[in-house]
A and B are shown apart, each in its own frame.
Chain A
Amino acid sequence: MRRGLGLAWEWLVERVIQIAGLLAIVFVVAIFAFLLRDALPVLRERSMAELLAGEVWSPTADPARLGMLPLLLGSLYVTVGALVIAMPLGIACATYIAEVASPRAREVLKPLVEMLAAIPSVVFGFLGLMLVGPWLAELLRLPIGMFAALGSLMLAFMAMPTIVSVSEDALRAVPRALRENSLALGATRWQTIARVVLPAGRSGVIAAVLLGLGRTIGETMTVLMVTGNAAVIPEGLAGFWRPVRTMTATIASEMGETAYRTPHYHALFFIGLVLFVITFIINTIAEWAIRKTGRLSS
């Protein structure tokens, strides 16, 4: 009798564990479904073209103008700027940690980079707003200390830890024999790194950059606080020195004030849906690239 109960209990526990294993899939699907549910009603009022290519975002106008183009371009500016800074520095730092640094330097650097990754984004925003922004504005003679490039700069430092740690893992996964063969041929360590290790770890490094990119596009509080939040279309390189507004910042600053189930409410969910789809694509490619690296090392 007791044994039967034990078996029944075990059966139950194992089903629960199985369900828990599937939860990640359930939640991703649920998030997508909810975004669809609250985003799609906006398409009854506005066409897809009006939403995605409309040049004016002015939800308080009557009727509300819900063109997302300024926000899409705002996100693009801030993200591209961040990547231009974070990619070379992040990969170089990962290479240093994985290939060049002495064990002691590595033991200091690795936890430091991990700590940088842990700094809350609202603290980065605060420091950008109070310290870095005013300082840069004075240095560059800009009218105000909130602009797109400041967002890029702050985001770059937030994306670097991701790029560094994922790239470093990828470089470490490169089989030792490849390095030794290259050194045995008389190549210097740098030649080995540049022509053997980095090319061999390429897909992992690409995955690292993609994960950093995903984090950058989705970052909210920092850009909300430092980019000035002006929903204007940035133009040319000069756009980097003017205020912009990203998709994430728009949701964060407007969702609290909009009425439930108005076109504006649905439009904000539509922006959320666009963000979800963009990051989903980026992360899926990154996952694929990581799996490719895993195969290489085994």
Chain B
Amino acid sequence: MGNPQDGEAQLVIARSPARARREERLAFAALTAASAIVVLPVLSIMVVMCWRGARGLSWSFLTSPAEGLLAAVVGTVFLVLLTAAFAAPLGIAGAVYLSEYARSGPLVRFIRLAIINLAGVPSVVYGLFGLGLFVMLLGFGRSLLAGACTMALLVLPLVISASEEALRQVPRGLREASFALGATRWQTVRNVVLPNSLPGIMTGIILSVGRAAGETAPILFTAAFFSLTNPIPRSVFDPILALPYQLYVMATEAPGVPESHKWATALVLSALVLGLNLAAISARARLRRARRW
């Protein structure tokens, strides 16, 4: 650390400790204020949303088969379940490879680079890809299936990273004990590593389900359509209503939607997504405390 700033720092300290104290108080106050600015404004407009949304929310708006949110909620639930069904096995297998089989080298570096880039591809670009591959080339049409495939790609990096972290938390001693008993690598993975990391993996999957429930852009051209009546999809080749798309159209294009319905939709969507995240975050916290090793 031979840069000139270090010498300067010592001079300042030596010259005026009182000033340094004052400076520190000021700086810490500024950091605290900045942290408040990061969280408080968003929190307060979320409170406004809860207030207005709760006033617009009624049991019949949620459950009436004729009009309301029922089909959008059902569509979103179908979409995230199918997404998880595609993404979970692929993501977990990918994580097992990275954590249990791969040796560090250029290949693993490429895989990590690919994962970080996959996570960074704009969601609307996933929509384009889904349109090109699933809707057009594979002929799924605008459908639940095409939307779930697209969404599965979007959450895949999330599932891989969370699962890999969970796998790596399993202590080496457990693996070595299993090998010492004559188990093969796969037997060790299946009987020792996976069962011990399952809660962590599930947390990651809940997080990605939450992400999939809130994303709009990937399903814009692959799965979603808008309706104020409540059509329920009959097969995976039917298009679906989805909460985020419903909210988008209500807020921007659909004429004559009462304000209270818009706010209620925003509230239901946020509650669903944040609820899933809250569940994952608290499960993870509990997991950390309960870990035996």
Contacts and interface: CB of A to CB of B under 8 A. Distances in A.
Interface of A: 10, 13-14, 16-18, 20-25, 27-28, 30-31, 34-35, 37-38, 88-90, 92-93, 95-97, 100-101, 109, 111-116, 118-123, 125-127, 129-132, 157, 160, 164, 185-191, 193-195, 211, 214-215, 217-221, 225, 248, 251-252, 255-256, 260, 268-269, 272, 275-276, 279-280, 282-284, 286-287
Interface stretch (B59-67, B227-235, B270-278): B270-278
Interface in B107-159: 110-129, 131-133, 136, 153, 156-157
Contacts of B49: 123, 127
Contacts of A37: 132
Given A21-B98, A109-B39, A287 B112 contact: yes
B270 A120 contact: yes
Interface in B242-285: 244-245, 247-248, 251-252, 262-263, 266, 269-270, 273-274, 277-278, 281, 285
A119 B129 contact: no
Interface residues of B, number: 95
B96 interface: yes
A16 B133 contact: no
B9 interface: yes
Contacts of A95: 31
B157 A123 contact: no
A191 B116 contact: no
Contacts of B199: none
B129 A120 contact: no
Contacts of A191: 9, 12-13, 20, 23-24
B121 A160 contact: no
Contacts of A92: 30-31, 34-35
Contacts of B285: 111
Interface in B193-245: 210-211, 213-217, 220-221, 244-245
B214 A17 contact: no
Contacts of B127: 251-252, 255
Contact of B210 (A10, A38, A118, A164): A118
Contact of B34 (A13, A88, A276, A284): A88
B9 to A, nearest CB: 5
Interface of A: prevailing SS: helix
A28 B114 contact: yes
Contact of A115 (B6, B96, B277): B277
A125 B214 contact: no
Given A219-B122, A275-B122, A252 B220 contact: yes
Interface of B: 5-6, 9-10, 12-14, 17, 20-21, 23-24, 27-28, 30-32, 34-35, 37-39, 41-43, 45-46, 48-49, 90, 93-94, 96-98, 101-102, 110-129, 131-133, 136, 153, 156-157, 160, 184-187, 210-211, 213-217, 220-221, 244-245, 247-248, 251-252, 262-263, 266, 269-270, 273-274, 277-278, 281, 285
Contacts of B125: 31, 35, 218, 251, 272, 275-276
Nearest to B36: A93
Contact of A195 (B6, B213, B217): B6
Contacts of A119: 42, 46, 214, 270, 273-274
Contacts of B247: 122-123, 126
Given A120-B213, A248-B124, 12 more contacts: A10-B186, A10-B187, A24-B111, A121-B217, A125-B248, A185-B10, A194-B27, A215-B120, A218-B122, A269-B132, A276-B121, A279-B122
B156 A27 contact: yes
B114 A211 contact: no
20 contacts: A20-B97, A23-B156, A34-B132, A35-B129, A35-B132, A92-B30, A93-B34, A95-B31, A118-B277, A120-B214, A122-B216, A126-B248, A186-B10, A188-B24, A189-B24, A191-B24, A225-B248, A225-B252, A255-B221, A256-B221
Contacts of B6: 195
Nearest to A160: B38
B118 A114 contact: no
A265 to B, nearest CB: 10
A97 B28 CA distance: 11
A283 B24 contact: no
Contacts of A251: 124-125, 127-128
Contacts of B153: 27
Contact of B101 (A18, A187, A221, A272): A18
A272 B252 contact: no
A126 B5 contact: no
Given A96-B31, A109-B39, A255-B220, A287 B113 contact: yes
A93 B38 contact: yes
A31 B185 CA distance: 33
A65 B212 CA distance: 35
A25 B110 contact: yes
- In this complex, which of B90, B110, B129 has the most chain A Cβ atoms within 10 angstroms of its Cβ? B129
User: Considering the complex of A and B, which 7 residue pairs feature the smallest CB-CB distances, nearest first?
Assistant: A218-B122, A21-B97, A120-B214, A20-B93, A92-B34, A190-B24, A283-B120
